[in-house]
A and B are shown apart, each in its own frame.
Chain A
Amino acid sequence: MTLPAYNFAYLDEQTKRMIRRAILKAIAIPGYQVPFASREMPMPYGWGTGGVQVTASILGPDDVLKVIDQGADDTTNAVSIRAFFAKTAGVATTTRTAGATVIQTRHRIPETPLKAGQILVYQVPIPEPLRFLEPRETETRVMHGLEEYGLIQVKLYEDIARHGHIATTYAYPVKIEGRYVMDPSPIPKFDNPKMRNSPALQLFGAGREKRIYALPPFTEVVSLDFEDHPFSVQRFSQPCALCNATGVYLDEVVTDDRGGRMFVCSDTDHCETRQADGHRGPGLPQTQQEDAA
């Protein structure tokens, strides 16, 4: 029995050319949504079909791929996409942010600062930041074209009117180089500042919605706000329970059915690296500390 012969990285070369052209255009106009002929992928929509197509088109044999889902390298989505490319492209994979050349991500930007030469590929469910305010695609395109962004401000206004502060915590709209308003995909707004002036290339792929957009390295990214309600990121009152890190994005983990919970790094690689370096958080069992001592 022979296995089906896939082209390198699953997609055929013509498709990759088409997607690369869309990517080049997206890089040329930062924040602008470029339509592309999204293909059916061997996974359901919503599992990262857009990100996978972008990754497949930019991957070369020498690349080292890392895939994260909500910051973790070991969730189903991350594991299967990593396995998919290991099988169809035979590329090396890693969980270390620093060692990767291409990082496909869902819902997070790694804590370790990205370097020049790295590419971050986002999986995007809904690329249109104006979608829930203006359902007509024809109209939102005109609004982008004419830079009519009053409506996105209406959304933030509604947040403050209802909650007393801007309650949008993820997919927080940003303005690119003073021109296009962009949906940064559902990353927490905690990660918004990391997009600004990043030395890495950032690509966004939306498979179901058939759009690609991009942030070239060192692009100005401003989170929208009001003068009297400025943009701010989430703050955590305690450090990571495992690696004692502060100033990172934490996940709340329920530990028992009696209200026990702990806060740990959402970026598993960052957490493990710190633990290996000897950082220990208050949540680690005492026995382990004794073992170490």
Chain B
Amino acid sequence: MSDPILSVRDLERRYASFIGCTKVSFDVWPGEVVAIVGESGSGKTTLLNCISGRLERSSGSIRYRMRDNRFPDLAELSEAERRFLMRTDWGFVHQSPAEGLRMRVSAGANVGERLMAVGERHYGRIRETASEWLQRVEISPDRIDDQPVAFSGGMRQRLQIARNLVTHPRLIFMDEPTGGLDVSVQAKVLDLLRGLVTDMSLAVVIVTHDLAVARLLSQRIIVMKNGRIVETGLTDRVLDDPRHAYTQLLVASIPES
């Protein structure tokens, strides 16, 4: 467990002359949840998209520990390998479930798609697995044949989580997973996520502007401003004893409850 699963070094992404993120270096260890926080426009999402291979980087390196313990830079992998990684070993939970789900395909098929993509060709087994996963994310298996368009926001988000976890990935990227949900539903989704992350000892990189989400889920925090990391450390330490002026401002801006 002493080797990082993901290692980012001097990552930079420019949009023409404008900086998306720069000089970003950090490691993620297996089973660890890392939160990237910062205000809108601080480069969080750019960073997440770069390391998850959805956006091309301008320079720097991103290495990932494969299941066979190789540690290649993602740029060394062929497109086929990268895409295979994305639908087996990785997951990506979008802020808007419509981006991560097939809205006009039944819940069961949404969960089963990754299984079929890796070659499962037995309808009964796919359905059984899909039904188990729906139960794990607290969706009634009766709704296995309903389309996500008929689901509430919270259910869609939970379905998206199930769809990502069905192949037992090792690394999950999340972009504001509780973004559009109301507070009680948010709490439920977070609770579920926390349980699953611990059960499956997932490594997670989660982007959020909500420090409460970061405190609840993550062990470590990375604070970003203007595309740069300004502070990083254990979540409790950073939130209770912020050192950088910007982090102090962020923490101070949470209304007292």
Residues of A within 8 A of B (CB): 133, 142, 146, 148, 150-151, 153-154, 157-158, 160-162, 225-229
Contacts and interface: CB of A to CB of B under 8 A. Distances in A.
Interface in B103-128: 105-106, 108-109, 112-114, 116-118, 121-124, 126-127
Given A157-B108, A161-B109, A162-B145, A226 B123 contact: yes
Interface centre among A146, A154, A228, by most chain B C-beta atoms within 10 angstroms, is A154
15 contacts: A146-B83, A150-B113, A150-B117, A151-B113, A154-B102, A154-B105, A154-B116, A157-B112, A158-B105, A158-B109, A160-B123, A226-B121, A227-B121, A228-B123, A228-B124
B142 interface: no
B80 interface: yes
B79 interface: yes
A153 B127 CA distance: 13
Interface in B61-109: 79-80, 83, 87, 102, 105-106, 108-109
A157 B113 CA distance: 9
Given A154-B116, A161-B144, 11 more contacts: A133-B105, A142-B79, A150-B87, A150-B113, A150-B116, A157-B109, A157-B116, A161-B109, A225-B121, A226-B122, A228-B124
Contact of A146 (B80, B114, B123, B126): B80
Nearest to B126: A157
B145 A157 contact: no
Interface of B: 79-80, 83, 87, 102, 105-106, 108-109, 112-114, 116-118, 121-124, 126-127, 144-145
B59 to A, nearest CB: 25
Contacts, number: 54
Nearest to A162: B145
Contact of B123 (A148, A157, A162): A157
Contacts of A226: 121-123
B112 A148 contact: no
Contact of A154 (B87, B112, B145): B112
Nearest to A153: B116
A158 B106 contact: yes
Contacts of B112: 154, 157
A231 to B, nearest CB: 12
B109 A148 contact: no
A287 B79 CA distance: 71
**List of 7 A-B pairs having minimum Cβ-Cβ separation, nearest first:** A150-B117, A153-B116, A226-B123, A150-B116, A227-B122, A146-B80, A157-B109
Q: By CB atoms of chain A within 10 A, which of B105, B116, B122 has the most?
A: B116
A179 to B, nearest CB: 14
A133 B106 CA distance: 13
A148 B117 contact: yes
A153 B144 CA distance: 17
Contacts of B123: 157, 160, 226-229
Contacts of B124: 228
Contacts of B122: 226-228
A163 to B, nearest CB: 11
Contact of A148 (B83, B102, B105, B108): B83
B79 A154 contact: no
Nearest to A227: B122
Given A146-B79, A227-B122, A228-B124, A161 B106 contact: yes
A114 to B, nearest CB: 31
B182 to A, nearest CB: 31
Contacts of A227: 121-123
Contacts of A150: 87, 113-114, 116-118
Contacts of A148: 83, 117
A229 to B, nearest CB: 5
B195 to A, nearest CB: 28
A159 B15 CA distance: 44
A6 B17 CA distance: 58
Contacts of A225: 121
Nearest to B119: A150
Given A148-B83, A161-B144, A161-B145, A154 B121 contact: no
Contacts of B144: 161
A133 B109 CA distance: 12
Contact of B121 (A151, A153, A162): A153
Contacts of A133: 102, 105
